[in-house]
Structure 1
């Protein structure tokens, strides 16, 4: 059967997420919720069955963009599991309400997380950052609003240099920044009181899936006794891992790593560009969420409380 027609705004959003014009787990989740809401608003489906199929097709299109960012499917789960009714209009209203409720919760969750994460920071602390995370920045911003003086060491985070975004935003809230190349992290860890990183996904055993280089940093930080804190809203918990699913690591285009001319000059080589890696829970001191601060090994209990034992995904269930 042919896939239903999708709203141009949903297709544009999917493209923007895939090409990293929209980035950051919370931002991706918000964009996906808005896109699915637009699909529901604009749908001219004649029957409830056709409406459900249309929303499920939109969800699948969005899902194909970034396989590792679990905030994306979690936003779609939230909306689709609340899309209930006997008529097209009832289904439409339920989907729109679910999307709006999800976005409201997403906004308040980051503020709540920031307040909890700020409690870990003391006046004069130096924090080492990897990549860019709005959840991490929420912790720092809250600490600064409370008058806590902080300084930052920021890894540039190749190949896309998301550390530059972090450096700019830290400067804007009054945190002095030292920008370093990725390979220099070990040298600067002795100057850091904490390592703060975000997460694109957290698994049931407390492993953290984040930007490539996180595991290497965490292992080195553990050796230096520098605590590593993960800031991650509960929308980043991956409920599929409760039943043993593994996280798919996104492999991105080699052009992010090497240009065509450089490749031709070097010769016949294989280029791989994994976007993420997995940090085992033994290297993580705490995972900060809007529901509180948890040792990584106890995340499974929070996940079960929030999601239960997962059954069929709503975009797979047909009508």
Structure 2
């Protein structure tokens, strides 16, 4: 059982997967921009690595780190400024791609929605909200049922945003998802990561939505750009999920010795997912290996372990001068 977490996960309550990762990337970029010494750059690299350890299911953070550390390990540079410019260039390119892929995936999902659909969703996902916005722009009237997503309650933020954007929105408790699945005509969720076998990592509770949608024969579409692919998982994913602990237990029960445990992420198996809406099109989960092969040039992809890249990149930076 994982230890309860505070730190980063506690600071991203109410945010979707991409927004939470973007907070880290923006802070990392700020640290690099302000770095005045080799020591400052190394501190920034340590910051990024530490956030991945706190948030191990963020494919975006892992992929950003791979690009940054890989560039520092392999590119030619002779000064601190050149190293900083390489990092900033990689970050800017990645974030442009994230925006483009999010918009593309949302467009594909929106085209699969029909006028009059009742969409069941869970928590907060920028990709899902963009898909709903695009469907509305196409003239489709959509009603949305949002599960609150305990314990982080990011579904409340999703409901607020959807109402502000003009959607007929109903907020429900997580335990009512099976009841409301009978009303739904589609189910949409986002993802923290898409694994190599087509399964998806998402906030705990998304798996319950997948189960009730499957039972009710409601099509489940996961909206996720290619930046959510996590190719390292071809060899399995062994990290434990961050979790909240005793803070979820009322004080009167805690004083009696009742312990709390709320895992924050879970894996939704591919057989419960009808399709993935990506910027490359609507694909079956079984097609994920083909996308990874297209991106990386081979299957399975031969990727250097991230820890090795971190060590090599840090060594190159240290060689620039005294720490």
TM-score by length of 1: 0.86
After superposition, where does 1:32-71 map in structure 2 within 5 Å? 32-45=24-37, 53-71=42-60
* 2:21 corresponds to 1:29: yes
Contact 2:13 2:154 in 1 (8 A): no
Query: 2:294 aligned with 1:305, yes or no?
Result: yes
Q: What is aligned with 2:211?
A: 219
Query: What is the CA distance between 1:137 and its match in structure 2?
Result: 0.7
Task: Tell me, in whole angstroms, the C-alpha distance in 2 between the residues paired with 1:253 and 1:72.
Answer: 25
- Which residue is equivalent to 1:190? 182
Name the Cα RMSD after superposition.
2.2
Does the CA contact (< 8 Å) of 2:8 and 2:51 recur in 1? no
Partner in structure 1 of residue 319 of structure 2 = none
Q: Is the 8 A contact 1:56 1:316 kept in 2?
A: no
Q: Return the offset for 1:247.
A: 4.6
Question: In 2 relative to 1, CA 152–60 (structure 1 residues): closer, same or farther, beyond 3 Å?
Answer: same
CA distance in structure 1 between the partners assigned to 2:310 and 2:168 by the alignment: 46
| Contact kept in structure 2, 1:198 and 1:210, CA below 8 Å | yes
Classify 1:29/1:75 alpha carbon distance in 2 versus 1 (closer, same or farther; 3 Å): farther
User: Could you tell me whether the CA contact under 8 Å between 2:149 and 2:155 is conserved in 1?
Assistant: yes
For 1:91 and 1:292, locate their aligned partners in 2 and report how far apart those are by CA, in whole Å.
Answer: 36
Query: Is this contact kept in 2: 1:127–1:196, CA < 8 A?
Result: yes
Q: Does 1:258 align with 2:249?
A: yes
Count of aligned pairs between the two proteins: 300
Aligned counterpart in structure 2 of residue 101 of structure 1, from 93, 97, 114: 93
Q: Is the 8 A contact 2:249 2:259 kept in 1?
A: no
Q: Give how far 1:51 is off.
A: 7.5
CA contact (8 A) 1:135 1:231 kept: yes
Match 1:144 to one of 126, 131, 136: 136
Residue 52 of structure 1: how far off its partner (Å)? 6.7
- Corresponding residue of 2:318: none
Which residue in the other structure is 2:201 paired with? 209
Q: Secondary structure at the match of 1:64?
A: helix
Is 1:159 the counterpart of 2:145 in the alignment?
Answer: no
CA contact (8 A) 1:75 1:102 kept: yes
**Given the superposition, is the C-alpha separation of residues 195 and 140 from structure 1 closer, same or farther in structure 2, using an over 3 Å criterion?**
same
Tell me if the contact between 1:59 and 1:315 (Cα under 8 Å) persists in the aligned partners: no
Aligned positions of 1:233-252 closer than 5 A = 233-252=225-244
- Mapping for residues 122-137 of structure 1, pairs under 5 Å: 122-137=114-129
- Cα distance per residue 1:18-76 (max 9 Å; x no partner): 52258322113322222222232222335xxx677445323223223322222222222
Task: State how far apart, in whole Å, the 2-side matches of 1:71 and 1:271 are.
Answer: 29
**Aligned residue in 2 for 1:81:** 70
Greater RCO (Cα-Cα under 8 Å, separation 6 or more): 2
Measured at CA, do residues 22 and 74 of structure 1 come closer, stay the same or move farther in structure 2, by a change above 3 Å? farther
Length-normalised TM-score, structure 2: 0.85
